[in-house]
Amino acid sequence: DAKTTQPNSMESNEEEPVHLPCNHSTISGTDYIHWYRQLPSQGPEYVIHGLTSNVNNRMASLAIAEDRKSSTLILHRATLRDAAVYYCPPARAPPSFGNEKLTFGTGTRLTIIP
Amino acid sequence: KAGVTQTPRYLIKTRGQQVTLSCSPISGHRSVSWYQQTPGQGLQFLFEYFSETQRNKGNFPGRFSGRQFSNSRSEMNVSTLELGDSALYLCASSPSGTTHLYTFGSGTRLTVV
């Protein structure tokens, strides 16, 4: 399984952009890069995913390095509600029936300072 | 629409006992995956069920088992509980197992004493 490396913790001021890095140097060419976050006392929540190109959605942007060995999740304007543990688990791109699972690392605990 | 429901939310069991946890997926979702979360090991994949069949299994001992019913509801069972089985057990449902379409439940917190 591919392994990921993330900083243990990061802090950011409210209403400022946040860049969360992830190193996934052993990622397979068929693995999607996902980002999930886990708010206190909840299960993980999907944020964004991509394969090779940068991606945007209403929650965040995902910047993927050209060699795909790293990615950065960008929260454009952090709010207190964004305080969570952020994970970047790779997973096989569908269809790969029977082999689609998320391999979570230790994640980054993001603290937002009011 | 209703989310993923896990019951019970909290459970305390004694070493050597067995436990059954339940997960009701989002309506229409046919895949249910189970994960164990502990402070030491983080989130680890247990198994995935799709249309009542186990499609994928993580590296856990045979004491951990599961099943899925025809309505896609899933249960996982842990027999002969050990102290190390204390964890948050999370299930995630998705339409067909696609990982970027996972919706997780809030989990069952199992404490083994």
pLDDT digits (tens, 9 = 90+) for B38-96: 998 899 999 999 999 998 899 999 999 999 999 999 999 999 999 999 999 999 998 87
Which residue in B48, B100, B101, B109 has the most chain A C-beta atoms within 10 A of its own C-beta, making it the best mutation to test that interface? B100
- What mean pLDDT comes out for the span B14-41? 95
pLDDT digits (tens, 9 = 90+) for A19-47: 999 998 888 877 888 999 999 989 999 99
Which residue in A55, A101, A104 has the most chain B C-beta atoms within 10 A of its own C-beta, making it the best mutation to test that interface? A101
pLDDT at residue A93, as a whole number: 60
Q: What is the DSSP letter of A70?
A: E
pLDDT at residue A96, as a whole number: 55
C-alpha A102/C-alpha A108 separation (Å) is 16
**Residues in chain A, pLDDT under 70:** 1-2, 92-99
C-alpha B29/C-alpha A74 separation (Å) is 30
| Distance between first and last Cα of chain B | 37
pLDDT at residue A91, as a whole number: 75
pLDDT at residue A97, as a whole number: 54
pLDDT at residue A1, as a whole number: 65
C-alpha A36/C-alpha A101 separation (Å) is 13
